[in-house]
């Protein structure tokens, strides 16, 4: 309880207006600073009370029978004690978990201290709208990790479907009779990117209409069917259809996984959990690499490589069937009871009132329906949407795909002849960097990691460019190229890789969040597609050293852009970020 001596120099008048409503005592408590020196503002709280002790309904232990129960939310405790002032408060009157209040002896209005040792216990339930902004955060008894893990099955499938074709392409081309047709082989690879582009744009609309978990369940259909068709294909047409469906599936999941994780994660660990998305994408790519190891001894193994991805697709659907829906989406749809149930499942019953207050506060500024695609380009949202699109554009134009593509030849120049070893080293650097980013995300912040990441990438690209062009470095070119490649991948994994997908759901307002994330991911896939289409032509025309120098320039521009346009979101709830950005615009 509160040490009342802290308030010995102050006098308060506490007035209880009490009445009966729905078998409860409804009290309006007005706390006034009688000295009127401005140090304590007037406060009012509505309390639905039921008195225990002394019997009957009352304020300070009168006679009578039992008391009525409060409602189902977590109660605050108000004690009437002779040791308290007329109102003793913890943490500058902001803590609703305990209030000591003197029981006046001469009616419902009184001053100073109570001389009676008798007190009653009043259980007061505070509605979410009555919790002050300086609310005390209750410790959560829930656990979101199992549901984040289920969502990350989508991230694993994302990485797996991107990486599985690299090792299998040579063998499936022979089986399907396209070994001499580079165009059709290119279609087998690029169709997935085209499908992902379409999927990323449709994923936002589906998530807004059906909810996050139902959209995950729907997404499992193209992922599973696409994998099955690819595994059983007897001609290139079936293979291309299977790859297109798998692409649509990973496009939807690329937007949906970071969206769902950001909306269910507690503020204090949202950064770490959000970066897990990128970590599991990397793991998916590594799993695809490992799955290709038996190909040398069994050329038909490529069918198994595609087929085994059906299993996590089914697990994703089953897991999401029992996972809670995003409380923020439920609240946006007006499904308050279901939102409270989801909060209780995710965080525990202690957090229901607090999280509902946050949701209500975040929605007070707008009762508007979900935004249309055209709303994203209106003045109100144009800047924040452009930031999201720019981050993914910088991510792709910074050259990550080029570095990965050329990593094999770079490692061969250093004497590492094994393609698998080269790819494994790059993949391990990516996973290691992402793990470091996860531990730093909620300590250093998103913006600082982005700036550090792109700065490291610029330096690495400059090193790679010089290793290929500066004659003085020719004796060390192989070693420098390997060092530059590993340093680049590590720098990418520290920020440019995981942060954009985490940051965008944080900075977008709730009514545009799903569509704006989908639009930004669409930019990712479109730029990825065109870079893959024209990269070799640009290299052949200008040389790899010049192209790497261009990538270094893009990274430097990204640092300047981020410093001037990206806001820090570390340690702030989604609703707090939305209110801050709304007031800024």
Predicted confidence (pLDDT) at residue 7 exceeds the cutoff of 70: no
pLDDT at position 57 is 37
**What distances in angstroms separate CA 383 from CA 376, 454, 519, one per listed residue?**
9, 21, 14
Q: Are strands 109-111 and 98-101 parallel, antiparallel or unpaired?
A: unpaired
Q: Are strands 109-111 and 121-125 parallel, antiparallel or unpaired?
A: unpaired
**What distances in angstroms separate CA 187 from CA 190, 193, 231, 541, one per listed residue?**
5, 10, 17, 24
- Region 347-373 average pLDDT: 73
pLDDT at position 161 is 93
pLDDT at position 108 is 37
Over residues 172-213, the pLDDT tens digits come to: 999 999 988 878 888 888 888 889 988 988 888 898 889 999
- Region 279-306 average pLDDT: 88
Please name the residues in contact with 61: beta carbons below 8 A apart, sequence gap of 6 or more. Answer: 51, 53, 54, 80, 103, 116, 118, 119, 120
Predicted confidence (pLDDT) at residue 450 exceeds the cutoff of 90: yes
**104-113, 475-484, 485-494: range with lowest mean pLDDT:** 104-113
The share of the chain scoring above pLDDT 90, in percent, equals 26
Please name the residues in contact with 376: beta carbons below 8 A apart, sequence gap of 6 or more. Answer: 382, 385, 512, 515, 516, 519
Structure tokens at 138: 């209750």
Predicted confidence (pLDDT) at residue 268 exceeds the cutoff of 60: yes
How would residue 244 be classed by pLDDT, with cut points 50, 70 and 90?
very high
Q: What is the DSSP letter of 88?
A: B
**135-144, 396-405, 410-419: range with lowest mean pLDDT:** 135-144
Query: What is the C-alpha separation between 84 and 101, in angstroms, rounded?
Result: 6
Predicted confidence (pLDDT) at residue 527 exceeds the cutoff of 60: yes
Q: Give the DSSP H/E element, type plus range, for residue 530.
A: helix 513-542
Residue at token pair 């009342």: 4
pTM score above 0.85: no
How would residue 107 be classed by pLDDT, with cut points 50, 70 and 90?
very low
Predicted confidence (pLDDT) at residue 539 exceeds the cutoff of 70: yes
Predicted confidence (pLDDT) at residue 69 exceeds the cutoff of 70: no
- Region 549-556 average pLDDT: 94
Per the prediction, the chain carries an average pLDDT of: 74
158, HSE (Cβ side, Cα atoms, 13 Å):
28
**What distances in angstroms separate CA 65 from CA 19, 51, 68, one per listed residue?**
17, 10, 10
**What distances in angstroms separate CA 129 from CA 28, 79, 193, 356, 365, one per listed residue?**
15, 23, 46, 8, 14
Predicted confidence (pLDDT) at residue 99 exceeds the cutoff of 50: no
Is 113 or 455 the better-scoring residue by pLDDT? 455
Structure tokens at 373: 């695609």
């Amino acid at each position: 309880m509160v040490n009342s001596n802290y308030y010995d120099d102050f006098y308060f008048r506490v007035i209880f207006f009490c009445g009966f409503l729905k078998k409860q005592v409804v009290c309006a408590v007005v706390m006034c600073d009688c000295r009127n020196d401005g140090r304590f503002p007037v406060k009012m709280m509505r309390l639905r009370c039921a008195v225990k002790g002394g019997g009957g309904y009352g304020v300070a232990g009168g006679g009578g029978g039992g008391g009525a129960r409060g409602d189902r939310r977590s109660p605050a405790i108000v004690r009437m004690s002779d040791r308290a002032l007329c109102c003793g408060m913890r943490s500058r009157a902001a803590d609703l978990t305990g209030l000591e209040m003197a029981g006046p002896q001469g009616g419902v209005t009184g001053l100073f201290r109570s001389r009676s040792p008798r007190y009653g216990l009043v259980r007061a339930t505070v509605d979410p709208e009555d919790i002050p902004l300086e609310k005390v955060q209750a410790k959560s008894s829930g656990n979101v990790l199992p549901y984040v893990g289920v969502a990350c099955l989508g991230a694993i499938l994302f990485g797996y479907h991107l990486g599985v074709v690299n090792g299998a392409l040579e063998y499936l081309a022979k089986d399907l009779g396209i070994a001499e047709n580079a165009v059709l082989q290119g279609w087998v690879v690029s169709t997935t990117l085209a499908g992902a582009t379409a999927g990323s744009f449709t994923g936002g609309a589906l998530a807004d209409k059906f909810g996050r978990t139902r959209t995950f369940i729907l997404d499992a259909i193209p992922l599973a069917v696409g994998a099955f068709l690819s595994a059983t294909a007897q001609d290139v047409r079936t293979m291309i259809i299977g790859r297109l469906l798998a692409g649509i599936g990973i496009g939807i999941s690329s937007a949906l996984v970071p969206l769902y994780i950001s909306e269910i994660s507690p503020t204090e660990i949202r950064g770490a959990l959000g970066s897990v998305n990128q970590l599991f994408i990397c793991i998916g790519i590594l799993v695809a690499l490992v799955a290709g190891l038996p190909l040398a001894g069994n050329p038909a193994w490529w069918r198994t490589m595609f087929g085994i991805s059906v299993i996590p697709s089914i697990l994703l659907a089953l897991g999401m069937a029992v996972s809670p829906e995003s409380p923020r989406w439920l609240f946006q749809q007006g499904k308050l009871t279901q939102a409270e149930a989801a909060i209780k499942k995710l965080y525990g019953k202690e957090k229901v009132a607090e999280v509902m207050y946050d949701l209500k506060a975040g929605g007070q500024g707008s009762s508007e329906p979900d935004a249309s695609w055209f709303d994203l380009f209106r003045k109100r949202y144009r800047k924040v949407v452009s930031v999201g699109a720019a981050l993914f554009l910088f991510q792709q134009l910074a050259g990550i795909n080029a570095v990965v593509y050329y990593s094999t030849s770079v490692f061969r120049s250093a004497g590492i002849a094994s393609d698998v070893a080269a790819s494994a080293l790059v993949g391990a650097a990516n996973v290691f960097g992402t793990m470091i980013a996860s531990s730093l995300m909620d300590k250093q912040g998103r913006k600082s990691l982005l700036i550090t990441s792109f700065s490291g990438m610029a330096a690495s690209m400059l090193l790679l460019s010089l290793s290929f062009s500066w004659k003085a470095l020719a004796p060390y070119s192989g070693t420098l190229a390997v060092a530059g490649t590993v340093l680049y991948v590590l720098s990418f994994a520290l920020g440019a890789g995981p942060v954009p997908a985490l940051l965008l759901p944080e900075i977008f307002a709730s009514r545009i969040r799903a569509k704006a994330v989908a639009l930004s991911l669409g930019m990712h896939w479109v730029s990825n597609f065109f870079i893959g289409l024209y990269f070799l032509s640009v290299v052949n025309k200008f040389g790899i050293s010049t192209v790497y120098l261009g990538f270094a320039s893009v990274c430097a521009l990204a640092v300047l852009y981020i410093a001037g346009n990206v806001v820090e979101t570390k340690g702030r709830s989604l609703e707090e970020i939305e209110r801050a950005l709304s007031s800024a615009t």
